[in-house]
Protein backbone atom coordinates (compact mmCIF):
# COMPACT_ATOMS: atom_id res chain seq x y z
CA UNK A 1 0.00 0.00 0.00
CA UNK A 2 1.42 3.35 -1.03
CA UNK A 3 1.46 5.97 1.75
CA UNK A 4 -0.72 8.55 0.01
CA UNK A 5 -3.14 6.41 -1.96
CA UNK A 6 -6.06 8.63 -3.06
CA UNK A 7 -4.94 11.51 -0.78
CA UNK A 8 -5.53 14.93 -2.35
CA UNK A 9 -2.35 17.01 -2.25
CA UNK A 10 -2.30 20.71 -3.12
CA UNK A 11 1.20 22.01 -3.96
CA UNK A 12 2.00 25.64 -4.78
CA UNK A 13 5.09 26.58 -6.76
CA UNK A 14 4.99 23.23 -8.54
CA UNK A 15 6.55 24.29 -11.84
CA UNK A 16 10.13 23.47 -10.95
CA UNK A 17 12.71 22.73 -8.28
CA UNK A 18 11.47 21.47 -4.92
CA UNK A 19 7.80 21.80 -5.89
CA UNK A 20 8.23 19.71 -9.01
CA UNK A 21 10.19 17.00 -7.22
CA UNK A 22 7.64 16.93 -4.38
CA UNK A 23 4.86 16.42 -6.91
CA UNK A 24 6.82 13.55 -8.45
CA UNK A 25 7.36 11.82 -5.10
CA UNK A 26 3.69 12.18 -4.11
CA UNK A 27 2.63 10.81 -7.50
CA UNK A 28 4.79 7.73 -6.98
CA UNK A 29 3.03 7.20 -3.63
CA UNK A 30 -0.48 7.21 -5.11
CA UNK A 31 -1.60 10.78 -4.39
CA UNK A 32 -4.08 12.82 -6.41
CA UNK A 33 -2.41 16.11 -7.23
CA UNK A 34 -3.63 19.69 -7.48
CA UNK A 35 -0.60 21.59 -8.73
CA UNK A 36 -0.43 25.37 -8.90
CA UNK A 37 2.07 27.94 -10.13
CA UNK A 38 2.21 31.39 -11.68
CA UNK A 39 4.45 29.89 -14.39
CA UNK A 40 1.88 28.08 -16.51
CA UNK A 41 4.37 26.79 -19.07
CA UNK A 42 6.57 25.23 -16.40
CA UNK A 43 3.52 23.89 -14.58
CA UNK A 44 2.25 22.12 -17.70
CA UNK A 45 5.68 20.53 -18.15
CA UNK A 46 5.61 19.25 -14.57
CA UNK A 47 2.14 17.79 -15.14
CA UNK A 48 3.18 16.04 -18.35
CA UNK A 49 6.27 14.52 -16.75
CA UNK A 50 4.50 13.48 -13.56
CA UNK A 51 1.58 11.73 -15.26
CA UNK A 52 3.89 8.86 -16.19
CA UNK A 53 3.43 7.60 -12.62
CA UNK A 54 -0.29 7.14 -13.17
CA UNK A 55 -1.42 9.92 -10.87
CA UNK A 56 -4.56 11.99 -11.30
CA UNK A 57 -3.26 15.54 -11.79
CA UNK A 58 -4.86 18.91 -12.47
CA UNK A 59 -3.04 22.22 -12.85
CA UNK A 60 -4.08 25.71 -11.74
CA UNK A 61 -2.50 29.02 -12.68
CA UNK A 62 -2.04 30.86 -9.38
CA UNK A 63 -0.41 34.02 -8.09
CA UNK A 64 -0.36 33.38 -4.33
CA UNK A 65 -0.34 37.08 -3.40
CA UNK A 66 -3.73 37.75 -5.03
CA UNK A 67 -6.43 36.90 -2.48
CA UNK A 68 -9.33 36.54 -4.92
CA UNK A 69 -7.29 34.22 -7.11
CA UNK A 70 -6.26 32.11 -4.11
CA UNK A 71 -9.87 31.82 -2.96
CA UNK A 72 -11.10 30.89 -6.43
CA UNK A 73 -8.33 28.34 -6.92
CA UNK A 74 -9.09 26.60 -3.62
CA UNK A 75 -12.78 26.50 -4.56
CA UNK A 76 -11.90 24.97 -7.95
CA UNK A 77 -9.73 22.31 -6.31
CA UNK A 78 -12.50 21.42 -3.88
CA UNK A 79 -14.96 21.19 -6.77
CA UNK A 80 -12.57 19.04 -8.81
CA UNK A 81 -11.31 16.75 -6.03
CA UNK A 82 -13.88 17.07 -3.25
CA UNK A 83 -11.35 17.80 -0.51
CA UNK A 84 -7.76 18.78 0.30
CA UNK A 85 -5.91 16.37 2.60
CA UNK A 86 -2.41 17.85 2.37
CA UNK A 87 -1.20 21.36 1.59
CA UNK A 88 2.40 22.08 0.63
CA UNK A 89 3.13 25.82 0.57
CA UNK A 90 6.18 25.76 -1.65
CA UNK A 91 5.83 28.96 -3.72
CA UNK A 92 8.65 31.33 -2.87
CA UNK A 93 11.13 33.82 -4.28
CA UNK A 94 14.53 35.23 -3.42
CA UNK A 95 16.74 38.13 -4.38
CA UNK A 96 20.09 39.26 -3.00
CA UNK A 97 21.25 42.73 -2.02
CA UNK A 98 23.09 44.57 0.72
CA UNK A 99 20.42 45.68 3.18
CA UNK A 100 21.25 49.38 2.72
CA UNK A 101 20.71 49.09 -1.04
CA UNK A 102 17.40 47.19 -0.85
CA UNK A 103 14.48 48.95 -2.47
CA UNK A 104 11.01 49.02 -1.00
CA UNK A 105 9.78 47.22 -4.12
CA UNK A 106 12.29 44.39 -3.60
CA UNK A 107 11.41 44.08 0.11
CA UNK A 108 7.67 43.97 -0.65
CA UNK A 109 8.09 41.42 -3.45
CA UNK A 110 9.92 38.91 -1.25
CA UNK A 111 7.71 39.45 1.80
CA UNK A 112 4.50 39.26 -0.23
CA UNK A 113 5.25 35.96 -1.93
CA UNK A 114 7.08 34.23 0.91
CA UNK A 115 4.84 35.28 3.80
CA UNK A 116 1.56 36.73 2.59
CA UNK A 117 1.28 33.96 -0.01
CA UNK A 118 1.67 31.21 2.60
CA UNK A 119 -0.89 32.87 4.88
CA UNK A 120 -3.43 33.43 2.10
CA UNK A 121 -3.33 29.83 0.88
CA UNK A 122 -3.62 28.54 4.45
CA UNK A 123 -6.47 30.99 5.11
CA UNK A 124 -8.64 29.42 2.42
CA UNK A 125 -7.60 25.78 2.90
CA UNK A 126 -7.86 25.56 6.70
CA UNK A 127 -11.66 26.05 6.93
CA UNK A 128 -12.13 22.98 4.74
CA UNK A 129 -9.74 20.82 6.78
CA UNK A 130 -11.21 21.77 10.18
CA UNK A 131 -14.59 19.97 9.83
CA UNK A 132 -12.79 16.74 8.85
CA UNK A 133 -10.56 17.00 11.93
CA UNK A 134 -7.52 15.94 9.99
CA UNK A 135 -5.01 17.34 7.53
CA UNK A 136 -1.35 18.12 7.03
CA UNK A 137 0.18 21.49 6.13
CA UNK A 138 3.87 21.77 5.26
CA UNK A 139 5.32 25.24 4.73
CA UNK A 140 8.64 25.82 2.99
CA UNK A 141 10.85 27.97 5.17
CA UNK A 142 14.66 27.89 4.95
CA UNK A 143 17.85 27.71 6.96
CA UNK A 144 17.52 31.45 6.45
CA UNK A 145 14.46 31.26 8.69
CA UNK A 146 16.61 30.04 11.58
CA UNK A 147 19.60 32.38 11.32
CA UNK A 148 20.39 35.56 9.43
CA UNK A 149 22.76 35.76 6.49
CA UNK A 150 24.43 38.66 4.67
CA UNK A 151 22.79 39.82 1.42
CA UNK A 152 19.55 38.12 2.51
CA UNK A 153 18.07 40.40 5.18
CA UNK A 154 14.68 40.59 3.45
CA UNK A 155 14.66 36.88 2.54
CA UNK A 156 15.64 35.79 6.07
CA UNK A 157 13.00 38.09 7.55
CA UNK A 158 10.39 36.44 5.33
CA UNK A 159 11.44 32.93 6.26
CA UNK A 160 11.62 33.74 9.99
CA UNK A 161 8.03 34.90 9.51
CA UNK A 162 7.09 31.55 7.94
CA UNK A 163 8.53 29.76 10.98
CA UNK A 164 6.49 31.97 13.32
CA UNK A 165 3.33 31.60 11.25
CA UNK A 166 3.79 27.83 11.25
CA UNK A 167 4.07 27.74 15.05
CA UNK A 168 0.97 29.89 15.50
CA UNK A 169 -1.16 27.93 13.04
CA UNK A 170 -0.08 24.64 14.60
CA UNK A 171 -1.49 25.75 17.96
CA UNK A 172 -4.73 27.02 16.44
CA UNK A 173 -5.27 23.82 14.44
CA UNK A 174 -4.08 21.22 16.97
CA UNK A 175 -7.57 20.82 18.52
CA UNK A 176 -8.79 19.74 15.08
CA UNK A 177 -6.10 17.11 14.53
CA UNK A 178 -4.35 19.13 11.83
CA UNK A 179 -0.54 19.14 11.77
CA UNK A 180 1.39 22.21 10.60
CA UNK A 181 5.15 22.06 10.15
CA UNK A 182 7.88 23.86 8.25
CA UNK A 183 10.83 22.53 6.30
CA UNK A 184 14.14 24.42 6.39
CA UNK A 185 16.38 23.46 3.47
CA UNK A 186 20.03 24.45 3.24
CA UNK A 187 21.82 25.03 -0.05
CA UNK A 188 19.57 23.34 -2.62
CA UNK A 189 20.74 22.86 -6.20
CA UNK A 190 17.90 24.49 -8.17
CA UNK A 191 17.43 27.16 -10.82
CA UNK A 192 16.92 29.61 -7.95
CA UNK A 193 20.40 28.80 -6.65
CA UNK A 194 21.81 29.25 -10.15
CA UNK A 195 20.58 32.85 -10.04
CA UNK A 196 21.73 33.38 -6.46
CA UNK A 197 25.36 32.39 -7.03
CA UNK A 198 25.56 34.92 -9.87
CA UNK A 199 24.05 37.66 -7.69
CA UNK A 200 26.28 36.85 -4.74
CA UNK A 201 29.44 36.70 -6.85
CA UNK A 202 28.67 40.12 -8.33
CA UNK A 203 27.86 41.71 -4.97
CA UNK A 204 30.98 40.28 -3.32
CA UNK A 205 33.31 40.97 -6.24
CA UNK A 206 34.00 37.31 -7.04
CA UNK A 207 34.84 36.72 -10.71
CA UNK A 208 33.58 33.13 -11.00
CA UNK A 209 30.11 32.35 -9.57
CA UNK A 210 31.09 28.70 -9.23
CA UNK A 211 33.49 29.75 -6.46
CA UNK A 212 30.42 30.80 -4.47
CA UNK A 213 28.85 27.38 -5.01
CA UNK A 214 32.06 25.73 -3.82
CA UNK A 215 31.75 27.79 -0.63
CA UNK A 216 28.24 26.43 -0.14
CA UNK A 217 29.59 22.89 -0.33
CA UNK A 218 32.38 23.69 2.16
CA UNK A 219 29.78 25.03 4.60
CA UNK A 220 27.85 21.74 4.41
CA UNK A 221 29.38 19.03 6.64
CA UNK A 222 28.07 16.17 4.47
CA UNK A 223 30.07 17.64 1.60
CA UNK A 224 27.53 18.24 -1.13
CA UNK A 225 24.66 20.49 -2.11
CA UNK A 226 21.17 19.41 -1.19
CA UNK A 227 19.02 18.07 -4.01
CA UNK A 228 15.30 18.76 -4.44
CA UNK A 229 14.66 15.09 -3.67
CA UNK A 230 16.30 15.45 -0.23
CA UNK A 231 13.76 18.15 0.62
CA UNK A 232 10.82 16.36 -1.00
CA UNK A 233 11.43 13.23 1.05
CA UNK A 234 11.19 15.25 4.28
CA UNK A 235 8.01 16.95 3.07
CA UNK A 236 6.43 13.56 2.40
CA UNK A 237 7.44 12.31 5.82
CA UNK A 238 5.84 15.31 7.56
CA UNK A 239 2.70 14.79 5.46
CA UNK A 240 2.49 11.10 6.35
CA UNK A 241 0.91 9.21 9.23
CA UNK A 242 4.40 8.54 10.59
CA UNK A 243 4.55 12.23 11.57
CA UNK A 244 1.14 12.40 13.28
CA UNK A 245 2.70 13.54 16.57
CA UNK A 246 4.89 16.26 15.04
CA UNK A 247 3.44 19.76 14.78
CA UNK A 248 4.68 23.33 15.05
CA UNK A 249 8.20 22.21 14.20
CA UNK A 250 10.72 23.61 11.71
CA UNK A 251 12.84 20.72 10.50
CA UNK A 252 16.23 21.24 8.88
CA UNK A 253 17.34 19.32 5.81
CA UNK A 254 20.76 20.85 5.36
CA UNK A 255 23.45 18.18 5.32
CA UNK A 256 24.47 19.20 8.84
CA UNK A 257 24.86 22.93 8.19
Query: In angstroms, rounded to a whole number, what is the distance separating the alpha carbons of residues 206 and 201?
Result: 5
Give dist(CA 69, CA 242) in Å, integer. Answer: 33
Within its chain, how far is the Cα of 211 from the centroid?
27
Element (H, E) at 35: strand 32-37
The number of residues making up the chain comes to 257
Helix (H) or strand (E) holding 135: strand 135-140
Distance CA 126, CA 226 (A): 31
Q: Which segments of the chain does DSSP mark as H helices, in order?
A: 17-28, 40-50, 67-81, 104-111, 117-129, 153-173, 191-204, 209-218, 228-238
Catalytic (active-site) positions: 155
Q: Which of 137, 148, 147, 228 is nearest to 182 (CA)?
A: 137
Amino acid sequence: MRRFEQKVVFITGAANGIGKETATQFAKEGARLALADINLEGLNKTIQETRQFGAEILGYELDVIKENQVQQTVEKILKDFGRIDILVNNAGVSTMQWSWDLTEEEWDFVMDVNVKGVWLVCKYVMPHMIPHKQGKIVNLASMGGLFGAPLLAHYCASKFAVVGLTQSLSKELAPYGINVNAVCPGYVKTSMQDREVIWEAKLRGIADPEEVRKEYVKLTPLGRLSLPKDVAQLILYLASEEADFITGDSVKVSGGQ
